[in-house]
A and B are shown apart, each in its own frame.
Chain A
Amino acid sequence: MTTIRPLSDALTGTSVDIPHGETLVSVDGLALRFGGNTAVDDVSFDVGRGELFAIIGPNGAGKTSIFNCLSGVYRPQEGELSFLGRSLLGERPDDIARLGISRMFQNIELFDNLTVLDNLMLGRHQHLEYGTLAGMAYLGKAKRIEVINRRIVEDIIDFLEIESVRKFPVGMLPYGVKKRVELGRAMAMEPKLLLLDEPVAGMNVEETEDMARFILDIREELDLTMILVEHDMGLVMDLADRVMVLDFGVKIALDRPSEVQQDPNVIKAYLGEGDEGPTLEDAAAAAEAHVSQEVRR
């Protein structure tokens, strides 16, 4: 019954008041170790406002570990992480969420017993500003805030085309839809920075194209900065502005996609050393085969 409004009107908190291209996230000399095992070793990079920055690398290269450091789940031993000029070191995950960083998880981490609607509303937890007693009374303020935020969540549901499942418990949904719901929950947080951890892993071509379309639409409508970890090389090379390649926790390349594809170190990391340098297309195919094998298992 209500008219559709653009996402930028629903999610006003995503705008950042620094000029385009200026550093939004800066990671400097990051090192993360588990016992004697080094997961991330002296990695530095900056992500500019509005950029879509991709991190790739073979399995176990430390991509997700960097995300876990950024969102406060892991505490790195060395290095500096900052967001909008503010250090993220030592901050709890929920404080970091409040600063405006949200993420999708590699293995879906939705709340299975909650409906799609409630999962998305949970994403808005920090924006629902009423107390416990107001919640128990559920009159006036709490009711008003819930309805306002329901409207915002419904805008996201419309955007992601998941209207038909909004009242289903998430646990019942198929994999591809769950991934969409997870993107929706991350958007519901109204982030300034979106971390996407393998958004198309295990998806077929059609689902992958849908997801790519959503990512591009979010960029266009919200001008959101994103960091993308993905094994689907086709997707990464098509979408990303810049690509960083990790191998065993070490940064081996950081450049535009076309340059990275030609980088001999990258080719070596993916395919090992050979007499004649194979192209990254082969590497992409190999990686894809590997991923689909993983998923099948």
Chain B
Amino acid sequence: MTGPRGGTASPKAVRATLRGRPALYTDYAADQAIWNTPSKRFWTILLVAAVLVTPFLPFVTRSHQADLTLVFVLAIGGIGLNLLTGYAGQVSLGHAFFVGVGALTASVLGGMPTQNVVGFELDLLIWLPVSGLVAMALGLLVAPLAARVRGLYLAILTLGLVFIGEHLFKELRSLSGGQGVGRRGPDPEILGFGLFHPQEILGVQLDRETPWYLFTFLLLFVMAVLGRNLARSRWGRAFAAVRDRDIAAEVMGVPLLRTKVLAFGVSSFYAGVAGGLLAVSFGQVTPENFGGLGGLLLSVEFLAIVLIGGVATMSGSIIGAAFVVLMPRLVEMFAPSLPLIGDGALLSVQQLEGVLFGVLIVLFLILEPRGLFGLWLRIRNYWKAWPFSY
């Protein structure tokens, strides 16, 4: 590093230069870092601390923890779809298929055998990565076909996967338990430590949900950082280039097929891992959850996470997952006090949920296409410029 007059600056001099000037970068590595501003560092630390403290707050129930766990799990799947659809621009309605493959793999490798289904009761350290890898292998198998079509055709092609999935999940009875029955998900254990059991650590009594909550959060954090790194690396730029102008990207030296296949592979790995975790959170894995109409709904839910949260942002996927899981809970909480809502009234609580969900998607697409992350940007920019309007 050279100083302002060309001489080599001592670390002390650099620190002195930086004091009170947090936005001044003195090397490219600092400018390109993942948390390159003090406010990003502040918010990340604050959120991580809040998440870690939450299960120990007195008013947080076990079902609250289960809901937040679901947020983390869906966020992992959402990040996967955001890499494929948000960054690389390949619209996929087949995300639920890969999630289902992950859930099934996890149940077979980690679940208990019964008279009807096989199970190997393996360690989570084995079945979780394998769930991701099996889904990724199928993603890589489909990708060369999917890479040949785009837009609407791609959406329909990937939609086909959900129905192939329905057939597969129903027919592979010894693995999935068959239609309408399903099978139990895995009981997660790492080296004998049960992640879905009440535990006592350092004298602190943990609920059954708490270890699983903390584990899924840790995994989300790691996978979000990995995803963000991929997005800011050469491949992330290649994804965006293929999304914005594929022919120009190719002329600039980006191999089109390879880039799309990579996006599919990474995306289905994330989906597979999310599926494995979902199998635990759901407790019961049935073909209807991941194939056919149920699968289509799950796919749409993931698309909603990406769209509402914020296309082509990591934090957006997490915010989107929180929205999709927590919005119905809030509605349930407040609906009884609203007029015209309730059994026998104009709308039941569930109908209200559905209507609100649809209306919000429409409103976001029209008013803030960058989603909740875009709203955050607006607030941030307002306070950055405050008290000036621009």
Contact = CB atoms under 8 A, between A and B. Distances in A.
Contacts of A2: 2
Given A73-B251, A92-B250, A123-B252, A1 B238 contact: no
Given A111-B241, A111-B245, A132-B235, A94 B256 contact: yes
Interface string B217-261: 000000000110110111111101101110111111111100000
A138 interface: yes
A73 B3 CA distance: 47
A102 B240 CA distance: 19
A129 B252 CA distance: 15
Contact of B253 (A94, A113, A137, A146): A94
Given A114-B240, A136-B233, A125 B252 contact: yes
Nearest to B256: A94
Given A136-B226, A138-B229, A185 B252 contact: yes
B262 A136 contact: no
Given A94-B256, A138-B233, A125 B238 contact: yes
Given A135-B229, A135-B235, A150-B32, A3 B6 contact: yes
A95 to B, nearest CB: 8
Interface in A45-94: 71-73, 92-94
Given A1-B1, A150-B28, A135 B230 contact: yes
B4 A138 contact: no
Nearest to A191: B253
Contacts of A112: 244
B32 A125 contact: no
B238 A113 contact: no
Contact of B32 (A102, A111, A134, A146): A146
A267 B241 CA distance: 42
B29 interface: yes
B312 interface: yes
Contact of B232 (A98, A125, A128, A138): A138
A121 interface: yes
Contacts of B37: none
B266 interface: yes
Nearest to A186: B252
A150 B370 CA distance: 28
A163 to B, nearest CB: 13
A295 interface: no
Given A122-B254, A151-B28, A109 B233 contact: no
A130 B336 CA distance: 56
A103 interface: yes
Contacts of B254: 94, 122, 125
A258 interface: no
A125 B250 contact: no
A98 B258 CA distance: 15
B237 A114 contact: yes
Interface string A17-53: 0000000000000000000000000000000000000
A189 B29 CA distance: 22
Contacts of A185: 252
Given A92-B255, A122-B254, A114 B241 contact: yes
Interface in B16-32: 26-29, 31-32
Interface string B180-210: 0000000000000000000000000000000
B34 interface: yes
Nearest to B4: A1
Interface string A117-148: 01001111110101010111110001100110
B229 A137 contact: yes
A88 B248 CA distance: 18
Contacts of A136: 226-227, 229-230, 233
Contacts of B233: 130, 134-136, 138, 142, 146
Contacts of A143: 29, 32
A97 B4 contact: no
Given A1-B1, A114-B240, A137-B229, A109 B248 contact: yes
A168 to B, nearest CB: 14
B266 A132 contact: yes
Contact of A189 (B26, B232, B253, B312): B253
A128 to B, nearest CB: 4
A138 B34 contact: yes
B238 A122 contact: yes
Contacts of B32: 143, 146-147, 150
B67 to A, nearest CB: 29
A4 to B, nearest CB: 11
B252 to A, nearest CB: 6
A209 B117 CA distance: 76
Nearest to A170: B244
Interface in B21-62: 26-29, 31-32, 34
Contacts of A97: 250-253
A47 B197 CA distance: 74
Interface pairs A-B: 3 shortest CB-CB: A135-B233, A97-B253, A109-B248
28 contacts: A1-B2, A71-B251, A72-B250, A72-B251, A73-B251, A94-B252, A96-B251, A97-B252, A102-B251, A111-B240, A113-B243, A114-B241, A121-B234, A122-B240, A122-B249, A125-B234, A125-B238, A125-B254, A132-B230, A135-B230, A135-B234, A136-B227, A138-B34, A142-B233, A143-B29, A146-B28, A147-B28, A151-B28
